[in-house]
């Protein structure tokens, strides 16, 4: 597969190798994050939470689906506590094998 290098300027960009920032691990599942990083508030903003953690969109969706704001507030930065939830545990084990850029394509029937 030949990779084309279209010239996009009067000079060559020496940093053409798409310098992606080093991936940060997802707070929930620990995999590196993909293209889309969600900055999640472990303590909901509405509850005074100020800290944010990097997460996959799908991981954040899982948290929101399984915990109420009160529960999230109670756990706060304690991700271990969240992982004790069987649903979350199951999700993390399942998503561990997925691509970092895998998002909620769950609605698709094809594998
Ligand atoms: Zn994740």
- Which pLDDT score is estimated for 108? 45
Residues 41, 49: contact at Cβ < 8 Å? yes
Give the closest residue to 57 by CA, choosing from 3, 98, 14, 18: 98
Rounded CA separation 11/99 (Å):
35
Identify the segments of the chain with pLDDT beneath 50.
106-110
Q: Ligand 1 centroid vs 45 CA: distance in angstroms? A: 20
Ordered by start, the domain boundaries in the chain are 23-111
What distance in angstroms lies between residue 27's CA and the mean position of ligand 1's atoms?
7
Query: Buried (b) or exposed (e) across 62-72, using 16+ Cβ within 10 A?
Result: bbeeebeeeeb
45-76 pLDDT per residue, tens: 998 999 999 999 999 999 999 999 999 999 99
Give CA–CA dist 39/37, Å, rounded. Answer: 6
Q: How far is the CA of 48 from the centre of ligand 1 (A)?
A: 23
Predicted TM-score (pTM) of the model is: 0.73
Distance in Å, CA 79 to ligand 1 centroid: 12
Q: For residue 50, what pLDDT is reported? A: 93
């Amino acid at each position: 597969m030949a990779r084309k290098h279209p010239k996009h300027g009067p000079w060559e960009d020496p940093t053409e190798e798409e310098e992606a920032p080093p991936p940060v691990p997802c707070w929930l599942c620990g995999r590196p994050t993909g293209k889309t990083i969600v900055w999640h508030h472990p303590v909901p903003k509405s509850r005074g939470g100020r800290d944010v953690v990097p997460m996959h969109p799908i991981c954040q969706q899982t948290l929101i689906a399984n915990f109420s704001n009160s529960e999230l507030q109670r756990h706060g930065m304690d991700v271990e506590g969240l992982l004790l939830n069987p649903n979350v545990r199951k999700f993390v084990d399942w998503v561990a094998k997925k691509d970092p850029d895998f998002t909620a394509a769950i609605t698709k029937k094809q594998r």
